[in-house]
Amino acid sequence: MSEHGLTLIDAIQMAMQAEKQAADLYHNAVSQTANPLGKRLFNQLAEFERHHYKKLEELAASLQKQGKFIAYEDSPPFLAQSEVPVPEGAAAIPEANKMSMMQIIKMAQEAEVKAQNRYNDLATQTTNPVGRKMFEQLAQEEEAHYRLLRDVYWNLNDRSIWAWPKE
């Protein structure tokens, strides 16, 4: 399947593990902030990553049992967040023993870029059109998550507001 000698099933299982780690990252981020909008954002991102995990699990099962790729069902769109002011410096100052929102968002951005790259690699290595389409869609969704996090970061850092657009 790849230059590293991974089979497609191995690569999918690695992607599943990464999706589980991403969902865990977002779940942990929920506990790192007292801000209800931060909790809402990270809960929604965790749910998207769990959706990716479930679809990859279904794909692996289908490939192992029937040798077939499955059609991918898109994740639901993000709900837009209207602009809500943040008290000055609140996004940058972590509570005791907690990361700042800016640190969490930067970590999440890095995870989303890695996921996008992983799915783009799988798409280029997959000759089946249904499989390629699924991996391309997953890559696009991870890119959308990155853009959302970039917008949240910018709004918090430059405008001191919680806001993100509808995807």
Residue 81: give its domain's CATH number.
1.20.1260.10
2: in domain = no
Residues 135-153, mean pLDDT to the nearest whole number: 93
pLDDT at residue number 56:
95
Tokens of 132: 């390629």
Total domains in the fold of the chain: 1
24: in domain = yes
Instruction: Read off the pLDDT of residues 58-81 as tens digits, 9 standing for 90 and up.
Output: 999 999 999 999 988 877 766 655
Percentage of the residues of the chain whose pLDDT score is greater than 70: 80
The H-assigned helical ranges of the chain are 8-32, 36-66, 101-125, 129-154
Please state, as a whole number, how many other Cβ atoms lie within 10 Å of the Cβ of residue 157: 13
The H-or-E segment that residue 2 falls in is none
Tokens of 138: 């997953």
3: in domain = no
pLDDT at residue number 96:
53
Percentage of the residues of the chain whose pLDDT score is greater than 90: 51
Domain that holds residue 155: 8-164
* CA dist., res. 24 & res. 18, Å (int): 10
119: in domain = yes
Residues 93, 148: contact at Cβ < 8 Å?
Answer: no
pLDDT at 144 over 80: yes
Cα–Cα nearest to 142, from 70, 68, 58, 49: 49
The H-or-E segment that residue 166 falls in is none
pLDDT at 132 over 60: yes
Instruction: Tell me the three state secondary structure of residue 97.
Output: coil
86: in domain = yes
